Structure 1
Amino acid sequence: MSSTTATLSAKNPFFRQVEEVKTNKSDINALILDYLTIAGYPNAAAKFSTEANLSPQQPSTSIQSRQQIQTFIHRGDIESAIHALNDLDPSILDKDESLHFALLRLQLVELIRKSRPSGDIEPALEFAQTQLGPKAPRTPQFLEDLEKTMSLLVFDHDSLDPSLAALLQPGLRREVADQVNKAILESQRQRRDAAIRHLVQMRAWSEEVVRKGTKKDLPARIDLGLDGDDVENNYESMITT
């Protein structure tokens, strides 16, 4: 328990009640394994399931396939990601036009990024015309996204509007990688999100209900306890056996 929490627990009975709750270690380990599996960490999931004496939630090959595709996206190799995704399950992009467009748009961003040093924008223009141009008119959002992306060819990347600069930041790769991961999980009839995400959402909802609908004496601020004040930032700290 951190010094801040210790101070607060002396002031408000809520924290003392929380400390008295004993969480089953096997439940915590199951949550950790679930996160490693859903997020796509095959090696960590395999090692953790062995050390925590839990059965794997998915075959390692399945997790590895998702991880490989996400790795391609994080590296900016969108063409390889699309090929790998189609090899895994070609129906995913056939059924999800928005996801397909998001991947193609990200591929265009990467082509524009590569064109800056040489000034050769022909590959980016050709890709936009052949791959994205026919799809963009289908929805206003597609058209808006394409127009915004094409603006990267016009303006200096060192002085972009924040909305345009965001297209060149790692956040867009992470967003698309997360969308792809969830689409794969859904196609395999798995949950799209780790269980811990739902628990955090439920906890936030419960706190809001109690604050608005009752007169319970709650602290002004209740941390999630995920700041790691007393936890070593390494793999061993995740084992609670």
Structure 2
Amino acid sequence: MHHEENADAALDREINNLMMDYFITEGYPSTARIFAAESNTQPEADFEAIKARVEIRECIHRGDLQTAIEKINELNPQLLDTDDSLHFSLLRLQLIELIRACTSKTSGNVTNSPDISTALQFATTHLAPLAPTNPNFLADLERTMALLIFPTDNLAPQLAELIDPRLRKSVANRVNEAILGSQGSRREAQINKLLHMRVWGEKAAIESKKIDIPDAGLGFGLDERPAAAGRGRTEQNGNGVMGSQAPAEGDGDTAMREGNGEGEMMVS
């Protein structure tokens, strides 16, 4: 009996550590503090560093790329200099936001053309010099510039995904992972890795034995069925709209929900 109690306590500690690791890695400092108090878990984290990552993420989510890039450079001046792909993704997203702004000003007004000079100047100054260094950069820049030609309410799928809010989230996730890596931390929460392994295991089991796997409903944006495992060119380039998602509201047994309006999660 005593052995079973010790085993249960050890399992509880492992689960609590997994959850704490998720909150810290994904950038939920307030939730981490609350969970630490309620679960008697000691977080090993620099909460000021987490706060800096949260501020950068929120800037990207609301489309303020200039502030996000400035904050990244303040946190780690070498990060974007040593990661051309991430730097290009941020600049391209900033260009998309400029195009979105200049085209929305004249939306529905057929008498005026949008003032695209700001977007063109930005593309010429910041993105054009990078484009020749990578074929993917050039293709992505050309596709982005096509947003200036076609109306936003009638875009082909490969262009529509550029103005999809999920692109902001995807870039924000990449920035978060890059900052964590530069600080010597894991780029991805342990629980996300476990869920990726589960999806991989399901796919392998279904393909090899043709068996049906019950849906565990774990949430965390990683619980897709293996049949939808294909990846598009955009995602392969590292600039796509698909990325790991935070748990959806009401998902999972922990009953986590959006809390304070700052992207923070609350544990009930």
Same fold (TM over 0.5): yes
The answer for the alignment partner of 1:96 in structure 2 is: 83
Matched, 1:220 2:212: yes
Matched, 1:201 2:193: no
Q: Any gaps of 5 or more consecutive residues in structure 1?
A: 1-20
Task: Give the greater-gyration-radius structure (CA).
Answer: 1
The answer for the alignment partner of 1:114 in structure 2 is: 101
CA distance in 2 between counterparts of 1:148 and 1:160 reads 12
Out of 30, 34, 37, which is 1:43 matched to? 30
Matched, 1:105 2:92: yes
Distance 1:25 1:212, change over 3 A: same
- Counting aligned pairs with the same residue, the percent is 45
1:58 positional shift:
1.2
Alignment of 1:1-241 (within 5 A): 24-116=11-103, 117-118=105-106, 119-207=114-202, 220-226=212-218, 228=251, 232=255, 234=257, 235-237=266-268
Q: Which amino acid aligns with 2:118?
A: P
1:192 positional shift:
0.5
Q: How many residues align?
A: 214
Q: Which has the higher helix share?
A: 1
Report if the CA contact (8 A) 1:35-1:195 is conserved: yes
Report if the CA contact (8 A) 2:57-2:172 is conserved: yes
CA distance in 2 between counterparts of 1:64 and 1:230 reads 27
Secondary structure of the 1:123 match is helix
CA distance in 1 between counterparts of 2:33 and 2:256 reads 19
Normalised by the length of structure 1, the TM-score is 0.81
Task: Return the structure number with greater relative CO, CA threshold 8 A, min gap 6.
Answer: 1
Q: Which amino acid aligns with 1:53?
A: N
Q: Any gaps of 5 or more consecutive residues in structure 2?
A: 1-6, 107-113, 220-250, 258-265
CA distance in 2 between counterparts of 1:101 and 1:68 reads 20
CA distance in 2 between counterparts of 1:82 and 1:156 reads 29
Report if the CA contact (8 A) 1:46-1:60 is conserved: no
